[in-house]
Copies of this chain bind each other. A is one copy, B any other.
Amino acid sequence: MNETIQHLLNHRSIRKFKPHQLDQETIEILVRSAQAASTSSYQQAYAIVGVEEENLKQQLVEVASGQTYVADNSYFFVFCIDYHKHVLAAELASGSVDQTVETTEALIVGAVDAGLAAQNLVVAAESLGYGTVYIGSLRNDAAKVSELLELPSHVVPLFGVAVGIPDQQPGKKPRLPMDAVFHRNTYTDDDTMRQLLSQYEKETSSYYGERTDGRRTEGWVNQMAASMKDPKRTYLRHFLQEKHLSRD
């Protein structure tokens, strides 16, 4: 196993960083690493906004339900689906891509493109010794994020990535058993899946129990059943449509 894979396997999200700012060279290396990822049909259907102004960072903390590490880090990136540049490109070529960019297919392409680019940025940052954390809670109020970062039509913020020097050493939360995620040729039958989930419930229950002196004992199965009971961020479809995406 090589160093790159060791870094990947040792990943954990870092939510407390030491005071420090990234220099311009490092920011550019991280962005170039993101850009080097594969992209669907050469579309590069994502944008990255580097949030540098303290005032903006503080307002993003509020969107993210008060998670202070959205501001207290070495750098904060916001990843977006971006078809604005394709709309501009089509205008330059006297054409239109409006119908294409409003499809569910385009939504999927943009979300996956942004994901691949972001993960390359995270891998690059971690290889340099930085810690990282994804901030999905920017979607608590994508309209507010959009307003703060002046995102035009056809651009929608998906998540943030905070980068910084780790000031904590969190444990590594156990992942699902490999067989519950990785299937051979066909998807695993329900009985086997239920057994794997019950096994995982025990494993994650022990994990939490040990770390909370027994105060918390629910494992992944019960955690998911509770946290996913009520739908979240149900305004998103409407918001996407206002941005001229995901209409069809």
| Interface positions of A (Cβ within 8 A of B) | 1-5, 7-11, 13, 28-29, 31-38, 40-44, 46-53, 56, 82, 84-86, 88-90, 92-97, 99-105, 107-109, 111-116, 118-120, 122-124, 127-128, 132-134, 136, 139, 149-152, 155, 158-159, 173, 175-176, 178, 180-187, 190, 193-194, 197-198, 201, 220-234, 236-237, 240, 246, 248
Residue of B nearest to A149 (CB): B186
On chain B, the residues within 8 Å of A96 by CB distance are: 229
B41 touches A227 (CB 8 A): yes
A220 to B42, CA, bound (A): 8
| Chain A interface mostly | helix
Residue of B nearest to A156 (CB): B108
Q: From B5, B43, B151, B223, give the contact of A42 (CB < 8 A).
A: B223
A86 touches B232 (CB 8 A): no
A136 touches B109 (CB 8 A): yes
